[in-house]
Structure 1
Amino acid sequence: MSMTIQQKIQRLRDGEAPRVLDLFAGCGGISLGFQAAGFKNVGAVEFDPAAARSHAMNFHRDASDTMKEVHGQARDIVQTEPVDLLREFGLEGDPTEHVDVVVGGPPCQSFARVGRAKLREVAEHPEAYLNDPRGNLYLRYLHYVQELSPVAILMENVPDVLNYGGHNIAEEVCEALRDLGYDARYTMLNAVFYGVPEMRERMFLVAFRKELSCTDWFPDPSHWINLPRGYHGSRQVAMKTIKQDLLDDETRFFVDPPEPEPAGFKPAVTAKQALSDLAPIADDSEQKLKKGPRRFDLLTHYSQSARLNEFQRAMRHWPDFEAGEGVYDHVIRYLPRDYKIFARMKPGDQYPQAFRLASEMFEERLNEIERVEGKRPSEGSARFEKEKKNFIPPYDPGKFPNKWRKMESDQPARTLMAHLGKDSYSHIHYDSRQARTISVREAARLQSFPDGFIFQGPMNPAFRQIGNAVPPLMARALAEKIKEQLTGTVTDVEKNRAKKADTV
């Protein structure tokens, strides 16, 4: 065992907080979960300027103005060496002394271009990490691992990485980590099983230094739901690839995902349970009546009518991220053509149903014109086209069936994606009286960000940060499991999860 690894393990066993570096950090969903589990955030690497500022504002708000500026800088990981990064953070000397855990999710677009052979070379040829082309971003992740010698690693990505460009990237990364001295495992986990009001399936890879002799990688669920067919289907496709790989004796890194049953687990948190205490946005709201930039400078008080449930209390009173009287980012898109469509949509309706409703309303409008004026506008005329534009969305319902979707109040939300930054039609509010898409804060709630977590706006960058993030409650469950393995102590949350698992 190297002296650095031995010293790190000893300090963790002595009760000192594990120090975590977040790569490809976004606004900090993983960082927040790890902080809640008792980890200390050393810093982050993030390419997007708004997300980098959000991360600094939330995790280094007590730092000096100079250090806030340092932490808030957008950084290109290809151009940033670990030793230089730590020096900027004020951490001098041997870079292997300052970081215990490396976390993050390299963009999946980078995965197809580097194969198993290249990854297997990295232990023998560290220079392979240097001067990487843009396509090899996850080699930079491994470069940071080699340079910083963490005792544990967390990597997250979409399920597609299990069959991306013909590669099972998770298997290949586990092989590379094995050659670097780690025991690694990967699985697929759904955030909804960990108290997040969103059915979000992701691949998670966890690795520990071999010296730790760890035997447990992933947290037991705390919640249960019967996932919709689409989620089962995508999991089965990924599993098929994995099972084929497992025919090879060397590929033993996959861990079966937990499959919770109803008995002994809490029911999944629903959209209504997540959002109902936030103030309604009615038809006379200025947000629905006026176009213009959506700033985060006006306080929206909480709704006083709702009795808080466990999730809502957690979002309002998250330690170090308490919100006070309300929120500042309960802002929505200005979509005047579509409010009337949203109001008529039923829960679960998607774009084909919305298009049909819009067509029905347009026909009603033409009938009204004929009744009042005695004549319908002729098809193709300027009047006809003007009226049509006020009702009919411009997308082919055969080509964009999933573009719109109205949430169900009694179900968790479907997966929030990064394209929330471009439109929010994938998450139309379940309350027909409000007839709108979700607000920035509602998106944050569905991802389990506490109300005191600040996003650098305006609206579109904030939506994008939220859609790209790992849900903090999910990250906290993973962090608690990792901490248990690093310190040899079981958290109260993990004890409760274990009790529930024993009753199933």
Structure 2
Amino acid sequence: MSTTIERKIERLRAGEEPRVLDLFAGCGGISLGFQAAGFRNVGAVELDPAAARSHALNFHRDAPEELREIHAQSRDVVSTEPEDLLKEFRLGGDPESHVDVVVGGPPCQSFARVGRAKLREVAEHPEAYLNDPRGNLYLRYLHYVRKLKPVAILMENVPDVLNYGGHNIAEEVCEALRDLGYDARYTMLNAVFYGVPEMRERMFLVAYRTELNATRWFPAPTHWINLPRGYHGSRQVAMKTVKTDLLDGETRFFVDPPEPEKEGLKPAVTAVQALSDLPFINEDSEQKLRKGPRRFERLVHYPDGARLNDFQKKMRSWPEFEASEGIYDHVIRYLPRDYKIFARMQPGDQYPEAYQLASEMFEERLSQIEMNEGFRPLVGTDRYEAEKKAYIPPYDPSKFPNKWRKMEADQPARTLMAHLGKDSYSHIHYDSRQSRTISVREAARLQSFPDGFVFQGPMNPAFRQIGNAVPPLMAKALADKIKQQLTGKRENVTKNRAEETDAV
């Protein structure tokens, strides 16, 4: 056992808090989950300026202003060396001594052109990434691991990472980590099984130093739902490469996803359970009547007398992120043409249904003009085109069937994406009385961010940060499991699984 690893394990077994560095951190979904599990965030690397500032505002708000501004700087992991980063964070001495856990989700877009040989090369020659910048984001992640010698690693990515250009990227990363002295496993987890009111499927990879002799990798589900068919289908597609490798006897790192059993687990948290205590936005709201920048400057008070469920209480009282009076980012998009369409849509309706409703309302409008004015505007006239533009969205319903979707109140939300930063039609509010898309704070709730967590605005960057994030409750479930391995304290096997990640 190396002296550095031995010292880290000794301090963790002595009860000192594990220290985590978040790469490709975004606004800090993983960081927040690990903090809630008792880890200390030493810093982050994030390229997007708004996300980097959000991370600093939440995790280093008590630091001196000068140091907080250092943490708030955006950084490119390609040009940032680990030892230089830690010096910027005022962590001097041996770089290997400051980080116990490295977490993050490096993008995989160029990785398929690199492959196993390049990963093994960087494990042996840390500057090898310079020879092939196409895939250097994953290579840089491994470079940080090699330089900082963490005791544990968490990596997250989309399901397609298991079959990207014919490569099982997770499998290949595990091979490289093995060569660096780690025992690695990966699987697929859905956030909805861990108390998140969102059906979000992701690949998670966990690795421990072999000296730990780790025995547990992934948390048991605490909640249950019968997932829609599409989620099962996407998992099967992503796992084709895994199954092929299993048949060939080559896969050594894949762990079957833990399957929730309805008996003994809590029901999944639904959209209405997640959002019903938030302020009502009606037709007279200034947000619906006026176009303009959506900033987070005004406190919107919680409704009086709301009877809170467990999830809502958790979102308002998350330690260090409490919100007792209300929220600042309950802002929505200005979409005057579409409010009337949203009101008529049924739960689960998508763009083809919305387009049909818009066409019906346009026809009603033409009939109203004919009745009131004695003529019907003719196709191609300025009046006809103006009225049509006021009612019918411009997208072809045959080409964009999934562009819109109205949420079901009694189901968890479908996956939130970074595209929320461009429009929010994928998550139309279930309450027809409000006839709108979800607000920034509602998106944050669906991702399980507490109400006291702040996002660097305005609206579009905040939506993008939320859509890109790992849900904090999902991250906490993983962090709890990792901490058990780091400290040597195993969970009580007789404990009700439904309680394992319930407390924050």
Q: Where does residue 13 of structure 1 map in the other structure?
A: 13
Deviation at 1:305, TM superposition (A): 4.2
Q: 1:494 to 1:26 in 2, by over 3 A?
A: farther
Check whether the contact 1:113–1:136 (CA below 8 A) recurs between aligned residues.
Answer: no
Classify the secondary structure of the residue corresponding to 1:259: coil
More displaced 10-residue stretch of structure 1: 474-483 or 107-116:
107-116
**1:366-387: CA deviations, max 9, x gaps?**
0000001111000010000000
Q: Structure 1 14/132 Cα, relative in aligned 2: closer, same or farther at 3 Å?
A: farther
Cα gap change, 1:182 to 1:458, in 2 (>3 Å): same
Secondary structure of the residue aligned to 1:197 is coil
Q: Does 1:260 align with 2:253?
A: no
Pair 1:104 & 2:104 matched? yes
Letter in 2 for 1:271: A
Match of 2:121 in 1: 121
CA–CA distance in 2 between the matches of 1:500 and 1:219?
Answer: 9
**Which stretches of structure 1, 4 residues or longer, exceed 3 Å deviation after superposition?**
129-132, 490-496, 498-501
Task: Determine the structure 2 residue equivalent to 1:377.
Answer: 377
Which residue does 2:424 correspond to in 1?
424
Tell whether the 8 Å contact from 1:481 to 1:494 is kept in structure 2 after alignment. no
Aligned to 1:406: 406
- 2:209 is the counterpart of 1:177: no
> What letter corresponds to residue 106 of structure 2 in structure 1?
P
Task: Give the aligned partner of residue 137 of structure 2.
Answer: 137
Query: 1:460 aligns to what?
Result: 460
Contact between 1:342 and 1:432, CA under 8 Å: does it hold in 2?
yes
Please name the residue that 1:238 is paired with: 238
Say which is worse superposed, 298-307 or 270-279, in terms of deviation.
298-307
Q: Note closer, same or farther for the CA distance 1:493–1:25 as it changes in structure 2 (3 Å cut).
A: farther
Q: Take 2:432 and 2:250, find their aligned partners in 1: how far apart are those partners?
A: 54
Query: SS where residue 78 of structure 2 aligns?
Result: coil
Decide whether the 8 Å contact of 2:223 with 2:498 is kept in 1: no
The verdict on how the C-alpha distance between 1:392 and 1:128 changes in structure 2, with shifts beyond 3 A counting, is same
- The residue type paired with residue 151 of structure 1 is V
Pairing of 1:336-485 with structure 2 (within 5 A) = 336-485=336-485
- Amino acid in structure 2 at the alignment position of 1:465: Q
CA 1:89–1:8 in structure 2 vs 1: closer, same or farther (change >3 Å)? same
The RMSD of aligned alpha carbons is 1.5
Per-residue CA deviation, residues 121-144 of structure 1 (Å, 9 max, x unaligned), is 222222213465254211100000
The number of residue pairs the alignment matches comes to 501
Distance 1:303 1:68 in 2: 34
User: CA deviation digits over 1:255-276, x for unaligned, max 9?
Assistant: 0001112100000000000000
Q: CA deviation at 1:442?
A: 0.1
Q: Distance between the aligned counterparts of 2:304 and 2:359, measured in 1?
A: 38
Partner of residue 204, structure 2:
204
- Closer, same or farther: CA 494–254 of 1 in aligned 2, 3 Å: farther
For 1:105 and 1:493, how far apart are their aligned partners in 2? 31
Cα distance per residue 1:1-37 (max 9 Å; x no partner) = 0000000000000000000000000000000000000
Match of 1:488 in 2: 488
- Equivalent position SS for 2:247: coil
SS in 1 for 2:112: coil
Secondary structure of the structure 2 residue equivalent to 1:371: helix
Determine if contact 1:29/1:472 at 8 Å carries over to the other structure.
Answer: yes
1:309 maps to amino acid: N
1:444-492 deviations in Å (ceiling 9; x for gaps): 0000000000000000000000000000000000000000011011468
1:38 equivalent in structure 2: 38
Aligned to 1:328: 328
Decide whether the 8 Å contact of 2:104 with 2:155 is kept in 1. Answer: yes
- 1:64 corresponds to: 64
Contact kept? 1:265, 1:500, Cα under 8 Å: no
In structure 1, the residue matched to 2:23 is 23
- Structure 1: how far apart are the matches of 2:282 and 2:130? 54
1:272 and 1:471 map into 2 onto residues whose CA distance is 18
Cα distance per residue 1:136-171 (max 9 Å; x no partner): 211100000000000000000000000001100000
**Gap change, CA 1:377 and 1:184, over 3 Å in 2:** same
For 1:477, what is the secondary structure of its paired residue? helix
For 2:205 and 2:119, the matched residues in 1 are separated by 16
SS at match of 2:187: strand
In the alignment, the residues of structure 1 paired with residue 493 and residue 289 of structure 2 have an alpha-carbon distance, to the nearest angstrom, of: 46
> CA offset at residue 250 of structure 1?
3.6
Question: AA paired with 1:91?
Answer: L
Q: Contact 2:163–2:239 at 8 Å: present in 1 too?
A: no
Alignment map for 1:305-316 (pairs within 5 Å): 305-316=305-316
Q: CA deviation at 1:118?
A: 1.2
Return the alpha-carbon distance in structure 1 between the equivalents of residues 499 and 76 of structure 2: 44
Contact 2:49/2:73, CA 8 A, preserved across alignment: yes
- Structure 1 stretch 265-274 or stretch 296-305: which is displaced more? 296-305
Q: Is the 8 A contact 2:222 2:499 kept in 1?
A: no
- Render the CA deviation track for 1:58-109: whole Å, top value 9, x for unaligned: 0000000110110000000001000000000011121110000000000132
Tell me if the contact between 2:163 and 2:240 (Cα under 8 Å) persists in the aligned partners: no
Q: Which amino acid aligns with 2:7?
A: Q
Q: Distance in 2 between matches of 1:258 and 1:144?
A: 30
Residues 499 and 315 of structure 1: is their aligned pair in 2 closer, same or farther, counting only changes over 3 Å? closer
The 1-side partners of 2:131 and 2:233 are apart by: 39
* Equivalent AA in structure 1 for residue 152 of structure 2: A
Residues 282 and 438 of structure 1, relative CA distance in 2, 3 Å threshold:
same
Q: CA deviation at 1:495?
A: 4.0
3-state SS, counterpart of residue 203 of structure 2: strand
Structure 2's unaligned 5+ residue stretches are none
- Percent identity, please: 82
Superposition TM-score, scaled by structure 2 size: 0.97
Q: Does 1:160 align with 2:141?
A: no
Contact 1:277 1:304 in 2 (8 A): no
Counterpart code for 2:168: N
TM-score for the superposition, normalised by structure 1: 0.97
Q: Structure 1 residues 172 and 206, CA, compared in 2 at 3 Å: closer, same or farther?
A: same
| C-alpha distance in 2 between matches for 1:5 and 1:250 | 30
Which blocks of at least 5 consecutive residues in structure 1 are unaligned? none
Contact 2:113 2:134 in 1 (8 A): no
Shift in Å, 1:237:
1.3
